[in-house]
Structure 1
């Protein structure tokens, strides 16, 4: 699963981008989307998140719903599609969620889905491969793909 962080707060223009928190909408959307994903029967073994505050807050809402821990990875902050995929692949887990940022998220989702997809804030792309391993993810179309949005 690839998730873009929920809507962030731009009210304080003096804040560094890395330190922007979620706004009211983001704080509402994250737990709601987490519950929606959980109702679909999807629960990650590993939840990776960018070190940015908005990604951490989004990941915390998902972690609460999925009853899992958040693993913070600095390299996921404004990461490229390859960095995001490499981080997920490195876990070795069968079910992984990565919470990070655009434009990397939209680019990776579009690449894996083999169609143009825009990851709005708090969107979660759910990919399923029934066979193969992480080495096949970039070379084999998914058996299923769903985009969950607020």
Structure 2
């Protein structure tokens, strides 16, 4: 089984307009939503071995919450900041595990999820799209439709 969870970072704080985009933290809602969504995913059976994250503060903070709830290894990848769908999927493939979560940003996140779902999916902040292939290999991911797809939102 291969399972990929694509997570858009939780809601970020725009209060300091002088702050570099990479350094924006989560706001109060984001700090509430991330653990709530992570716990719901855990109860549904999602348990990634590795959580890959963009190096942007809001993504790293979201990913840390997920990694803690899932008791998963956390890995930062600067290529995930502003990544397009191909980079997001390649990062999951290169993780070396069959159950992985990727935490990154839109528009790439909505694009990769829409491509894999075969439908237009808008990834709101803290949304997680989980794709499962029961008998596919990593070489088939992206070319073979998933056996299941679930979208969890705050």
Is the CA contact 1:92–1:134 (under 8 Å) kept in the aligned structure 2? no
- Secondary structure at the aligned position of 1:51 is classed as coil
In 1, the alpha carbon distance for the partners of 2:105 and 2:139 equals 23
- CA deviations over 1:60-103 (Å, ceiling 9, x no partner): 11011001221000000010000000000011211000000000
Distance 2:125 2:58 in 1: 11
Counting matched residue pairs gives 150
Q: Look up the match of 2:101.
A: 97
Spell out the pairing of 1:1-150 with structure 2 (5 A cutoff).
1-150=5-154
Q: Partners in 1 of 2:29 and 2:73 — Cα distance?
A: 23
Bigger relative contact order, structure 1 or 2, given CA contacts below 8 A and separation 6+? 2
What CA distance in whole angstroms lies between the structure 2 residues aligned with 1:134 and 1:121? Answer: 27
Unaligned runs of 5+ in 2: none
What are the ranges of 5 or more consecutive residues in structure 1 without an aligned counterpart? Answer: none
**Aligned 8 A contact 2:53 2:104 in 1:** yes
> Would the aligned equivalents of 1:5 and 1:100 in 2 still touch at CA under 8 Å?
yes
CA contact (8 A) 2:49 2:73 kept: no
CA distance in 2, matches of 1:107, 1:51: 20
Paired with 1:9 and 1:31, the residues of 2 have a C-alpha distance of: 17
CA contact (8 A) 1:47 1:70 kept: yes
SS in 2 for 1:84: helix
**Whole-angstrom distance in 1 between the partners of 2:122 and 2:106:** 9
